[in-house]
Structure 1
């Protein structure tokens, strides 16, 4: 008997200090680059979206790779790529850490729609509020003072 998997994750991470540095002029190309990096890791980008200070990925990942390693590579490669783009006026970095939440197959359409509607969603709620809500809904213990890097406090 063969082994079969369907490992889908909702992954969220922010720019360093949540600076609004994912400018509209480059956003789609960044998303394409992230999708290519996932494909190079035997993954598949199902949906991507976000706003100027963070991204959401709905991705199917290979069971042979650690989620943390894939995300590390996606962030490192996309950060390097961003810094090579003329539209990026100052050093681009992702914030340390990420959120990764498993998604059951039946919930994929709902999560896709949520990610697709990020611009509208963030007219009502900040990234910080959204992220804390994700952690609470997934019953993940955290300390607020350790969640977000601050430019003045590390």
Structure 2
């Protein structure tokens, strides 16, 4: 082939360190917009960014030369800088790990809607309940001691 074609989409999930609710209502809209801008800046296509006070969900299209680990590293680094510049509480940090789930073209709209309705979801279940469900639905084996 004389050109490269791809459809690579990933649903990323990561939480604040120790699940501290640092992403407050007064910052959440701008914070999510900033994360979307960071994704564009590193060559990804942000399709949805959402979450609540202790975690974020990002649906994005990846370029063929990008790696999930590098995308997450860059998004965490830049969003941490932004949050620290807006808050007097310097200890803001993300947890070390993250979830990355592949999304096929048929499921993109469903995942977008799921991300946009995060506040609604978390009236009924915690982040950890949600995350366990995501892992199980994706068939990811995990040791519960590493989720706490």
Q: Please give the range of the TM-score, normalised by the shorter of the 2 chains.
A: over 0.9
Question: Runs in 1 of length 4+ with deviation above 4 angstroms?
Answer: none
Matched-pair contact (CA < 8 Å) for 2:33–2:49: no
Matched-pair contact (CA < 8 Å) for 1:41–1:62: no
Q: Normalising by the residue count of structure 2, what TM-score does the alignment of the two structures yield? A: 0.95
Residues 55-98 of structure 1: CA distance to partner in whole angstroms, max 9, x if unpaired? Answer: 11111111101110110110011101110114x53521111110
Task: Describe the SS at the equivalent of 1:101.
Answer: strand
1:1-154 alignment, distance < 5 Å: 1=1, 2-86=3-87, 88-148=88-148
Q: Normalising by the residue count of structure 1, what TM-score does the alignment of the two structures yield? A: 0.91
Structure 1: gaps of 5 or more residues = 149-154
Task: Describe the SS at the equivalent of 1:93.
Answer: coil
Task: Describe the SS at the equivalent of 1:115.
Answer: helix
Q: Distance in 2 between matches of 1:71 and 1:62?
A: 14
Task: State the number of aligned residues.
Answer: 147
CA RMSD of aligned residues (A): 1.1
Matched-pair contact (CA < 8 Å) for 2:49–2:116: yes
